[in-house]
Amino acid sequence: MRLRRTVRLLLAAAATAALGLTGLAASPASASVLDIPPKGANDWSCKPDSAHPEPVVLVNGTFKLMAENWSALSPKLKEAGYCVFAFNYGNMETAPIPQAAAELRDFVEAVRGATGAKKVDLVGHSQGGMMPRYYVKFLGGADKVDDLVGIVPSNHGTKNPLAVAAGWTICPSCVDQQWGSDFMKKLNEGEEAPAGPDYTVVSTRYDEVVVPYTSALLSGPAGRVTNVVLQDKCKLDLFMHDQATKDPVVAQWVLNALGRKGPADPAFQPTCISLG
């Protein structure tokens, strides 16, 4: 598993280098391929209804493209009645995280403008579950986000040495996501879950990227923060970090969080995956 992960990181870094550090220096045809949204996302004519008043913005993990990252969850959210939006940011999410958070801020404003919604819900994977906290805390997002759902988010960074190796190449966000980095110290100083959004964290004990997996968990009042460890409710859930957005159990937690006042219900019992 470590070898496969190393190869994936190196290939992604190489692809990012080829695209350039100041923007996607690709042909129009290839750029359009990169910007294909997942099924169910980016219908800019969609208007939220009273049962689903906040549009959902999906926020990628590092080295991810939206079409793959959200191929399972985006259509489920659309089928559930939500207006869904997704975007690629920060040179395949390798840019410094404050820069990425500014891109998120601008995308949220575009979604709010198109839909007429006062607030959005954010659902993010890995870096995408952590980075919105910077937007909330430092870039004016606190009154524009109703729910923030982080799927295996790097909320306190990772001790995985591969983050250091990736940072040596062309991945400033990998440096930011290292355990104890200056960025992490700034992000987590004071309140980890500032008032405004409700926070749901979905983690897995089998996380091989955010190490230890408990790094994902947030501190905060029970009515504002719910921390979920998948195996606490579904012991045989074997999903790891990379494909966590495709876990049907994760999808149930996301829908629970978005469909109620406050974060996900800690007492919620999802339907576990049958291995038989």
Residue 232 and residue 175: Cα distance in Å, rounded? 31
Question: What's the confidence (pLDDT) of residue 26?
Answer: 32
| Residue among 197, 70, 182 nearest 137 (CA) | 197
Residue 170 and residue 220: Cα distance in Å, rounded? 34
Residue 104 and residue 111: Cα distance in Å, rounded? 10
Question: What's the confidence (pLDDT) of residue 16?
Answer: 34
Q: φ, ψ for residue 115 (rounded to 5)?
A: -95, -20
Residue 5 and residue 19: Cα distance in Å, rounded? 21
Residue-number span of the structural domain to which 120 is assigned: 2-16+54-258
The segments of the chain whose pLDDT lies below 70 read 1-33, 163-169, 274-276
46 is a domain residue:
no
Gyration radius of the chain over CA positions: 17
Question: What's the confidence (pLDDT) of residue 274?
Answer: 60
Residue 188 and residue 276: Cα distance in Å, rounded? 42
| Residue among 267, 266, 258 nearest 147 (CA) | 258
72 is a domain residue:
yes
90 is a domain residue:
yes
Residues 229/205, Cβ–Cβ less than 8 Å: yes
Question: What 3-state DSSP class applies to 201?
Answer: strand
Q: φ, ψ for residue 174 (rounded to 5)?
A: -70, -40
Residue 110 and residue 105: Cα distance in Å, rounded? 9
Angle at 121 between CA 233 and CA 215, to 5 degrees: 50
268 is a domain residue:
no
30 is a domain residue:
no
Find tokens 């958070």 and name the residue.
101
Residue 148 and residue 81: Cα distance in Å, rounded? 18
Question: What's the confidence (pLDDT) of residue 169?
Answer: 65
Instruction: Give the chain's domain count.
Output: 1
Give the CA diameter of the chain. Answer: 50
Question: What's the confidence (pLDDT) of residue 147?
Answer: 98
42 is a domain residue:
no
Q: Where residue 221 sits, what CATH number does that domain have?
A: 3.40.50.1820
181 is a domain residue:
yes
Question: What's the confidence (pLDDT) of residue 136?
Answer: 98
271 is a domain residue:
no
